[in-house]
Structure 1
Amino acid sequence: MRMGHHLAAVLGLATLLCATAAAAADPLKSPACGQAIAALESVRAGTPDTADRRERVHAARSQAARICLGQVDPPARTARPAVAPLQVPPPLIDPPPLPPVAVTPPVSPPAPAWRPPPVVTSCDAGGCWDSDGTRLDRAGPLLTGPRGPCIQQGAVLSCP
C-alpha cells in the first residue's frame, strides 16, 4: 500500500509542475501581461478623445501586444489621403418600345338569315310607304322602289 501512495504523490507533483510550466509558458497568463492590459484600460477610460489620448492608447496597446502576444511593434500608421467617394450616376435604361396595338373594327351583328318581307303601311295618291320606311312611288298599277318595280300581293311587297 505504501507504494500506491508514493505513486499518487509523484503523479500529483508532476501534474502540478506541468500546470505551472504551462502557465509560465503562456504569456497571456503572466503578471506582466495583466499589468499591461490594466494600463491600456486605464488610458482608454481617461480623458475625452483627443490626439494626445489617441497616441497614449496606441502606445499602451502596442506595449500590451508586445508583452501578452509577443508581437513586435506594428509599422507606423500612414495617413490615407482623403478621397471623396465615387459617385456613379444611376443607369439610364430605356424600356423597349411597346408593340403596336392592332385596332380591329367593331363587329357589326350578323344580318338575320331571314327577314320578313316589307309590308305596305300607308298609301297616298303618289305612292306608298313600307314597313322599312322606304317610299315606293306609284307608276300605274305598280309600285317602284329604289331598286326597281315591286310586286304587291295584298299588303306584302316583293322588291328587288
Structure 2
Amino acid sequence: MLPRIALLSLLAFASIANAQDPLKSPECTAALAQLESARAANSPNVETVRRAASNACFGVPAASARPSRSVQAPIRVPPPVIEVKPRAPLPPIPTLPPPVPIERGPTISSCDAAGCWVNNGNRLQHVTPNLMAPYGLCGIAPGAAGCP
C-alpha cells in the first residue's frame, strides 16, 4: 500500500494535469465537434477545419503546419550525365605479303615406250609403273608429272 503522502501527491498531480491538458480544453472540444460535423457533411473545407482543431488542441500555429503533400510541386530529378570517353585508335591493319607463286610441275609433252618428254626439256625414264627424273621418282597425274 502506498504511503499517504505519495497518494496525496498523485491526486494533486492528476488534478493539475487535467486542468492543464489542452485536449480537455473547451476550445479543443468545440473544434473537434466542428471537425466531426464537417466530415459528416463532406464539406470541401475539412482541411481548414482540421488545421483549426489541431491548433486549438495541440497549440500548433497554422503557419508552421506542414503543407499537404498534394500541394507540393513534383520533385524534378535532372537526367544523368553520361560521359563517353574516346577510344584509343585502333592499331593499323598490317598489309599482307603478296601471295607466294606456286610453281606448277612439269607437263608431259609426249611419251614413248622408254619414257616421256616434259615441257622443260627433261626426259623422264619409264620405271614401271612410275617415271624416274634425275632427282628421284615422279608422281604421275593425267597430263602432268610431279617430280622432285
Q: TM-score, normalised by structure 1?
A: 0.44
Q: TM-score, with normalisation over the residues of structure 2?
A: 0.47
